[in-house]
Structure 1
Amino acid sequence: MVSSFTRRLLQTAAGLRFSSPCARYRPVLTYFSAASSSAPSSLVRSSLIQSLKNRSAFLPLRFASSKVGSDENLLKVLQSEIDCVQEFKDPRELEVPEGFPFVIIDNPGDQTITLKREFAGENIQALVYMNLDGEEDGGDNNKDDDTDQENSIQPSISLHVTIDKGDVPILEFGCNLNSEELEIESMARKSQDDSDVQGAYEGPNFSDLDESLQKALHKYLEVRGITSSLHGFLHEYMTNKDEREYLTWLKNIEVFVRK
């Protein structure tokens, strides 16, 4: 006689067989009548497992359909954003002002640019990036001058300036550049291999220096080309770069999704 456990397995397998949503994937099971000898338990289990596998095979099809739909929607949104950026992008190349003292190093994919020049035997570099965190609040409705209001909401430009004379330690300046002035926020003297002893004295905060010394250091940078007059060009350049990098980023995401 067929045991009650085996009978339940057979009934479960039979139910799965006839509930399959597609005849093409219906499992072929071997049945044993109650009058026959006991069915081998291993064969019953094998048939049941195969039935479960065939039934679960339909689940990935449903998720695959959802994936295709979501991918197509994402591609449409990406293309719309790409078209929007390209529509408002100024096709003209930004011209470097006459007498601009630096060579611009602009590597695609970087969020910063580097200004380089040589001056009286010194190697001067300035790492430039937009200081979006320092953007001022432009919500003052009492301002009547539209130009002043536009300038007030422009993010400042941050500069990390290094002055290298060769074998001696270098000077580093952390600067904030806006439309009105160049602010020196920090200054440090570091060794060439950047292996200064931890805890070494680096001088007081720049704002704590004597006013005459602060002015002299501003003049020191000004002679080397680091002045507030850089703001207009650098702001426009970095704005254009941000648009270029964003467009490239969108296209790279689109290529990835399409593959």
Structure 2
Amino acid sequence: MARLIRTARSALRLSSSCSCKTLINGIQRHPNPSLQVQKAISTSLFQNRPYASETLPKSPMEANILRILRNEEEYQSEYAPPEQPPTKFNSFTVQDRPGELWMTMRGKFGDTEDIKIEVTMFDGYETVPKTGDDSSGEDVRLHLSMIVDISRGDGSNDLEFLCSAWPDRLEVQKVYVLDRYRMPAKPYMGPDFRSLKRTIQKRFIEYLEARGVDDELSVFLHQYMANKDRIELIKWLGKVKSFLEK
């Protein structure tokens, strides 16, 4: 038995330089190997076994993509780093929705009206002639979509405005009267806002302006969404980079 134990100890000391075959041949000379000898063989086999889970070198394509992603993430973070999103604008509270295409604003008018505004990130554009000294060519004006809900919480109908926010102005596209509890299957949602008489359009615009939904809000929203666009881009670059690095 002592001889078997000495054999096992020798096998362990030499495991880094011995092959599995040598260990097996050595133990075959003993018809009844002890438990310690069996453990020695098992340990040696276990330590020399290759694993598929070991990190594999990146392919040239993956390495190139990672390099481009790292450079772009660094550029976006240093050249035009995003600011912390504001939480208030005038009388409205601002709620960012990280990882989403939307942001939400909430406010009140008087003691009875609740105002909720939901705004998309940039979802369109229009081309306009360039102005100034270099008036040749065209400029691009980005577009945001807005939904403005005004409710009184007394069981009466709500007013909903579908608006377009341009960099310097706000436009109303639709005005809906909503009964959120008894909505018919196919309700008549009203005419196109631009088809209404000018006097009616003007009164609705004044109605919104009195509640802080105006051209100044539109300017703020474009600044906010430009900043959010950078935040979401940097997060996206980081997530893709992290996936490829694993």
State the TM-score bracket (shorter-chain normalisation): 0.5 to 0.7
Given that 1:170 and 1:189 are in contact with CA atoms closer than 8 Å, whether structure 2 keeps it comes out as: yes
What's the counterpart of residue 132 of structure 2? 144
In 1, distance between residues paired with 2:147 and 2:167?
A: 18
Residues paired across the two proteins, number: 189
Whichever residue aligns with residue 78 of structure 1, its letter is L
1:125 aligned partner: 116
Please identify which structure carries the higher strand content.
Answer: 2
Paired with 2:109 and 2:214, the residues of 1 have a C-alpha distance of: 15
**Higher mean Cα deviation, 88-97 or 216-225?**
88-97
Q: Distance in 2 between matches of 1:130 and 1:68?
A: 36
Residue 169 of structure 1 deviates from its aligned partner by 2.4
Query: Partner letter of residue 169 of structure 2?
Result: E
Q: Distance in 2 between matches of 1:171 and 1:180?
A: 24
User: What TM-score, normalized to structure 2?
Assistant: 0.67
Q: Percent identity?
A: 30
Residue 57 of structure 1 is matched in structure 2 by: none
Residues 1:176 and 2:167 are matched in the alignment: no
C-alpha spacing 1:247/1:112, structure 2 compared with 1 (3 Å): same
- Is 1:82 aligned with 2:73? yes
Map 1:20-35 onto structure 2 (within 5 A). Answer: none
> Per the alignment, in what secondary structure is the counterpart of residue 177 of structure 2?
strand
Aligned to 1:153: 140
Whether the aligned pair in 1 keeps the contact of 2:87 and 2:94 (CA below 8 Å) is: no
In structure 2, the residue corresponding to 1:136 is in which secondary structure?
strand
**One-letter amino acid of the counterpart of residue 90, structure 2:** F
Question: Which AA in structure 2 matches 1:126?
Answer: I
Other-structure match for 1:54: none
User: Residues 116-160 of structure 1, C-alpha deviation per residue, up to 9 Å, x if partnerless?
Assistant: 112221110111124442x2225x46x3257x99x9533133211
Per-residue CA deviations over 1:11-67 (Å, capped at 9, x if unaligned) read: xxxxxxxxxxxxxxxxxxxxxxxxxxxxxxxxxxxxxxxxxxxxxxxxxxxxx87x6
| Structure with the larger helix share | 1
Match of 1:191 in 2: 179
Superposition misfits of 4+ residues, deviation over 4 angstroms = 91-97
Q: Which amino acid aligns with 1:170?
A: D
Give the whole-Å Cα distance in 1 for the aligned partners of 2:200 and 2:126. Answer: 28
Matched, 1:202 2:195: no
Query: Retained in 2: the 8 A contact 1:129–1:159?
Result: yes
Which residue does 1:227 correspond to in 2? 214
TM-score by length of 1: 0.64
Residue of structure 1 equivalent to 2:92: 102
Structure 1: gaps spanning 5 or more residues: 1-63
What do residues 89-109 of structure 1 show as CA deviations (whole Å, max 9, x unaligned)? Answer: 246556678x71210000211
Specify the code of the residue in structure 2 equivalent to 1:177: A
Aligned to 1:164: 151
- Structure 2 vs 1, CA of residues 80 and 238 (structure 1 numbering), >3 Å: closer, same or farther? same
Q: Distance in 2 between matches of 1:223 and 1:165?
A: 16
Measured in 1, the distance between the counterparts of 2:84 and 2:238 equals 21
Q: Secondary structure at the residue paired with 1:242?
A: helix
Q: Per the alignment, in what secondary structure is the counterpart of residue 153 of structure 1?
A: strand
Quote the residue 1:42 is aligned against: none
Cα root mean square deviation, aligned: 2.8
For structure 2, list consecutive stretches of 5 or more residues without a partner in the other structure.
1-55
Distance 1:213 1:197, change over 3 A: same
